[in-house]
Amino acid sequence: MIVVTGGAGMIGSNIVAALNAEGRSDILVVDDLTDGHKIANLADLAIADYADKDEFLPLFEAGAYGPVEAVFHQGACSTTTEWNGKFMMEVNYAYSKRLLHACLKRKVPFLYASSASVYGGGSVFREEAEFERPLNVYAYSKKLFDDYVRRTVFGTEHSQVAGLRYFNVYGPREAHKGTMASVAFHLFNQIGRGENPKLFGAHDGFEAGGQSRDFIHVGDVADVNLWLWKRGASGIFNCGTGRAQPFRTVAETMIASLGQGEIEFIPFPDHLKGKYQSFTEADMSALRAAGYNGAFRTVEDGVRDYATWLKAQPSS
């Protein structure tokens, strides 16, 4: 049995899809389906069972699920604009600690979702505490758990524990995320409604549309997760491409893929000033040193693939 928490979410469901592609369907998906729209991410996938996130943890701690080969812990509140710190710390920090210790006790490989948001507005994106300056409660909850893992696990004898700091993930199975979905998803829908795709204007020293991120296709993210598990590598690893590209390139690729639209620039919103990463670029040295030599899609290739997938959906 393989456990995927947040398995009905974007990254979790793509991990399930990647496992299915390898012939694995003995998968327990753990999630919170209060928003039932997320079942669309599981409808075409093969799993063995489902458990609610609140019911799962005490049962897993008690060994009720029998032998477990790995836990891919992707479940979290990922809304970066959520400022209820009590809720965020309960869901992202306290829950993760309990699950971590349950895995350590049973020697179950534990691969979890961290986030590049821990780097905040910094200019160095390397997995070291000196470069981590979270700008919001979500990012802080992720940094705090990384710090907890560093302090209590690494440097001791332990089963596999690997954290992946996801950069800007885009791709299939993210429609349920609403405002938190990728810019590629929003641009696709804007063009589909007959609107021009919209990007932020000049801000923070960047020209209009020039703010740049390390955009990584979710299929590549799933590949890294499965590789790390099979490799048995422990550590905290950036999960990006190592290549920053501007939002303008995302928009231009989507326009070319759909054959219509012209970029429209809008003023940078006041509520994001001082809380926004205008540039991210993963230092991929740690993952490469662990032996990963897989290629990552460029924005041009990844967004084109994603547009093709979105066009094939019955209701995008």
Which pLDDT score is estimated for 315? 62
175 closest CA partner among 186, 167, 187: 186
SS (H, E, C) 216-252: EEHHHHHHHHHHHHHHCCCEEEEECCCCCEEHHHHHH
Which pLDDT score is estimated for 316? 43
pLDDT surpassing 90 at residue 276: no
Which pLDDT score is estimated for 264? 96
Confidence of residue 86 (pLDDT cuts 50, 70, 90): confident
Q: What is the pLDDT of residues 148-202, one digit of tens each?
A: 999 999 999 999 999 999 999 999 999 999 988 999 999 999 999 999 999 999 9
Q: What is the pLDDT of residues 65-81, one digit of tens each?
A: 999 999 999 998 777 66
SS3 284: coil
Catalytic residue numbers, as ranges? 138, 177
Q: What is the pLDDT of residues 156-169, one digit of tens each?
A: 999 999 999 999 99
234 closest CA partner among 127, 94, 88: 127
Q: Give me 62's structure tokens.
A: 């008690």
What are the chain's domains?
2-169+215-242+281-296 (3.40.50.720), 175-212+244-280+301-311 (3.90.25.10)
Q: Give me 250's structure tokens.
A: 């995302």
Which pLDDT score is estimated for 118? 95
